[in-house]
């Protein structure tokens, strides 16, 4: 795959994958946390959504995908993670409260207000900075098999005396007290 097509696929993945990961993260946090805190039960649908969000984050941060995907995902996550901070500091940004459904809004508030979303965004941005991810893979030349050995042949013409020749049934003389020097 050429470098341009890899980055084009990364661009498409960077546009499609982060909203899905965010939706799964917000839904999972909105369902899993309150059910565990209030009823002491595990909401398996919320846990599955959190697992899907973790898999999506791993795909975004993975080294096989173009860094454009993690760059776009990091921008999404960081911007939405810093929105509550901007709203609190009076930057003129008011977050709409009725834009998301109840459970997803609660998950967004949990994840964004705790700083986890901004942390994940910065992580994705840092992952996309490494220069080795932007370079194309080097062309590898096939190695031709060489049949000649790279070592010297064993000296088979030497004859060993009886003392030098190893025996399978005879123990080493140094272990027997009567044969010690």
Residue-wise pLDDT tens digits, 84-109: 888 778 776 666 667 788 888 888 88
DSSP string, 86-122: HHHTTSS----SSSS-HHHHHHHHHHHHTTHHHHHHH
The residue assigned the tokens 């049949």 is 147
> Does 107 map to a domain?
yes
Mean pLDDT, the chain, rounded, equals: 80
> Does 18 map to a domain?
yes
d(CA 82, CA 38): 28
d(CA 71, CA 10): 9
Query: Domain count of the chain?
Result: 1
> Does 94 map to a domain?
yes
By residue range, what is the domain housing residue 105? 3-134
User: What are the pLDDT digits (tens) for 1-37?
Assistant: 677 887 888 888 889 999 999 999 999 998 888 777 7
> Does 170 map to a domain?
no
> Does 172 map to a domain?
no
d(CA 60, CA 127): 9
User: What are the pLDDT digits (tens) for 122-171?
Assistant: 999 999 888 777 776 666 677 777 777 676 666 665 666 666 666 655 55
Question: What pTM does this model have?
Answer: 0.67
């Amino acid at each position: 795959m050429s470098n341009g097509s890899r980055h084009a696929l990364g661009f498409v993945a960077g546009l499609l994958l982060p909203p899905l990961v965010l939706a799964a993260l917000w839904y999972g946090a909105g369902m899993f946390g309150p059910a565990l805190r209030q009823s002491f039960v595990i909401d398996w649908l919320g846990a599955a959504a959190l697992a899907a969000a973790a898999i999506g984050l791993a795909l975004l941060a993975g080294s096989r995908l173009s860094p454009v995907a993690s760059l776009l995902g990091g921008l999404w996550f960081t911007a939405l993670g810093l929105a509550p901070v901007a709203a609190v500091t009076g930057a003129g940004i008011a977050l709409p409260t009725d834009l998301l459904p109840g459970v997803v809004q609660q998950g967004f508030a949990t994840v964004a207000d705790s700083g986890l979303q901004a942390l994940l965004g910065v992580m994705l941005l840092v992952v996309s900075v490494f220069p080795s991810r932007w370079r194309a893979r080097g062309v590898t030349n096939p190695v031709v098999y060489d049949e000649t050995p790279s070592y010297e042949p064993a000296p088979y013409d030497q004859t060993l005396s009886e003392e030098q020749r190893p025996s399978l049934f005879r123990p080493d003389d140094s272990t027997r007290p009567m044969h010690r020097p």
